[in-house]
Amino acid sequence: MKPLLEVDGVRAGYGAINVLWDVSLTVAAGETTVIVGPNGAGKTTLLRALMGLVPVQGGDVRLDGASIRNRRTWDSVADGLVMIPEGRMIFPDMSVEDNLMMGAFPRKCRKGWKANLEMVFDLFPRLKERRGQLAGTLSGGEAQMLAMGRGLMEQPRICLIDEPSLGLAPVVVDEIFRILARLKAEGLTIVLVEQNTNRALKIADQVYLMQSGRVALSERGERVDLDRLHALYFAHEAAE
């Protein structure tokens, strides 16, 4: 199967500080690609580089075979590459519904905003109950649902999701992963950065482990040995 998204030998970082070192991975259409690794491994930097938010200094990023290296972020969004960031980054002084409508701002999304809004409310009934509420008054779990809903309003072909369970209560984490499983079943291509390896592997088609800005392990989800993954994760075992 031809990859939908290809990362080929990417080097990237912040100014003089390089974070990613020759990172390569592929994302197949309709699959959930999970990226795990300790803090500081470069996972978020990788997603930002894919979105054009961090400059790529070497290598290439291809969407449908065409290079999008250092492309303007809004152009990639228009082509269906969407990121749901760590920390939610919602607009606290705007209502829940207005936050969602910000996701419908790209020209290609405007015509179908009503259907997309109903789709989001079907996925997240709590957001429908709070549609007129200021986003800044939501709980952490509700704010994460809002960030995810806003991303889905952008009609993504590939959804990059950064640490959606971070800091949430177990019952909310259950709900987030239930929704991720539903999106996967509906055929959405997902790139998920997640520290909860046990939960992430249950929905993973392809798994990448990152360490110190490099890919230390690449394996199909069903073949991952969790004990070995954790040994590599905590650097108890050297990568091959």
Listed residue (219, 194, 239) closest to 35, CA to CA: 194
Whether 179 and 233 map to the same domain: the answer is: yes
* 57 within some domain: yes
Q: Predicted confidence band at 1 (pLDDT cuts at 50, 70, 90)?
A: low
Give the whole-number percent of the chain exceeding pLDDT 70.
Answer: 98
Listed residue (149, 177, 27) closest to 84, CA to CA: 149
Evaluate whether 78 touches 106 at the Cβ level (below 8 Å).
yes
* 240 within some domain: yes
Whether 95 and 147 map to the same domain: the answer is: yes
* 33 within some domain: yes
Task: Give the model's pLDDT for residue 69.
Answer: 96
Q: Mean pLDDT over residues 80-101, rounded? A: 95
Whether 76 and 163 map to the same domain: the answer is: yes
Whether 123 and 162 map to the same domain: the answer is: no
Q: What's the CATH code of the domain at 17?
A: 3.40.50.300
Mark out the alpha helices in the chain (DSSP H runs): 43-50, 73-78, 96-103, 107-110, 113-123, 125-129, 140-152, 170-185, 197-201, 226-233
In this structure, which amino acid lies at residue 15? G
> Is 50 exceeded by the pLDDT of residue 240?
no
Whether 47 and 69 map to the same domain: the answer is: yes
Q: What is the pLDDT of residues 164-211, one digit of tens each?
A: 999 899 999 999 999 999 999 999 999 999 989 999 999 999 999 999
Q: Which domain holds residue 107?
A: 90-155
In this structure, which amino acid lies at residue 182? R
User: Strands 32-36 and 206-211, how do they pair?
Assistant: parallel
Q: What is the pLDDT of residues 4-44, one digit of tens each?
A: 999 999 999 999 899 999 999 999 999 999 999 999 999 99
Whether 68 and 186 map to the same domain: the answer is: yes
Of 137, 155, 173, which closes a domain? 155
* 85 within some domain: no
Of 133, 155, 177, which closes a domain? 155
Whether 74 and 167 map to the same domain: the answer is: yes
Q: Report the alpha-carbon distance of residue 144 to residue 139 in Å, rounded.
A: 9
Q: Report the alpha-carbon distance of residue 155 to residue 176 in Å, rounded.
A: 19
Q: What is the pLDDT of residues 138-149, one digit of tens each?
A: 999 999 999 999
Domains contained in the chain, number: 2
* 65 within some domain: yes
Whether 160 and 239 map to the same domain: the answer is: yes
Task: Give the model's pLDDT for residue 171.
Answer: 93
